[in-house]
Amino acid sequence: MHLIWEGFTDALDMIFSGEPLVFSAAWRSLWISSTAVALAMLIGLPLGTWLARAKFRGNGFIVLLFRAGMALPTVFVGMMCYAMFSRRGPLGALDLLYTPWGIVVGELLLAVPIIVGITHGAIKSLDPRIAETAWTLGAGPLRRWWTYISEARVSVLLAILTAFARCVTELGIAMIVGGNIKFRTRTLATATALETSKGEFARGIALGTLLLVIALVVTALIGWLSREDRR
């Protein structure tokens, strides 16, 4: 109990003293995960909607693959990215290994199945009159798509939140692809793992608490965005 309490007080100390290493890792965690989720939204929202609306052979199998992808182990994604980005890998020329952008790509692979899977379920379960009404009112494909997303916004925002939560807390990709380099690729999750491995449990708990604070802020923000009474 003393250890946990010490961790919380250390967390407050770190926040109020403005420790550069901690703030650098927190900021990096935030921008890497936000960028990965934003890119995943660009791919996942249209793809999830299309899979929910389109009727073609093999549709169910593709959806099954994305659903399975929601449980991808981060270490596996990290290893695959490592193999792709390493000097002898097919994407070695991009020089992404041990860079924040390498982590972004890995987290993108983690976030896309989550956004596709949840968006697909959300759009599929919409009242069929929504699509029919939009169509009979002459809405084009883009307007219809936006109408579906807007009507399913609570589930869509949940998809984004889930993807963000998975990305910001993941360790495997950041460790393997990023390499946990100080002031360069260290994220809150890798910093937490490092401190814990050094036996600095209180600092580990403190960094974990910071992660929790970020998750709370993002959850509150998304909760506010998805309020029913928002116009």
Partner 1 sequence: MIEVSQLRVEREGRTICAVEHLGITPGSKLTVLGSNGSGKTTLLRVLAGLTGDYSGTCRVAIDRHELTYVHQHPLLFRGNVLNNVRYGQRPGGRDALEWLRLVGMEHLAARSTRNLSGGEVRRIALARALALKPRLLLLDEPLAELDKQACEIVSDLLESLAETTIIIASPTPLPGALGKTTYTLSQ
Nearer to partner 1, 75 or 130 (CB): 130
Straight-line distance from the first to the last Cα atom of the chain, in angstroms, rounded to the nearest whole number: 46
Q: By C-beta, is 151 or 200 nearer to partner 1?
A: 151
Instruction: Give the C-alpha separation, 99 to 63, whole Å.
Output: 32
For 15, 18, 180, 197, the CA distances from 191, given in Å and listed in that order, are 15, 16, 8, 10
Q: Closer to partner 1 at the Cβ: 136 or 197?
A: 136
Report, in Å, the least distance between residue 145 CB and partner 1.
Answer: 13
Nearer to partner 1, 13 or 132 (CB): 132
Would you tell me which residues interact with partner 1 (CB under 8 A)?
A: 127, 129-130, 132-139, 143, 147, 150-151, 153, 228-229, 231
8-state DSSP, 177: I
Distance of closest approach, residue 132 Cβ to partner 1, in angstroms: 6
Choose between 155 and 196: whose C-beta lies nearer to partner 1: 155
Rg (CA), the chain: 20
CB of 226 to partner 1, least distance (A): 11
Residue ranges in 54-73 assigned as alpha helix (H): 59-69
Nearest CA-CA partner of 208 in 167, 180, 168: 168
> Least separation, in Å, of the C-beta of 229 and partner 1?
7
Gap between the Cα atoms of 12 and 19, Å rounded: 11
Least Cβ distance, residue 149 to partner 1 (angstroms):
11
Please state the closest distance from residue 38 (CB atom) to partner 1, in A.
24
Minimum CB distance to partner 1 smaller for 88 or for 230: 230
φ/ψ of residue 99, rounded to 5: -125, 155
How far lies 47's CA from each of 40, 52, 152, in Å? 10, 9, 15
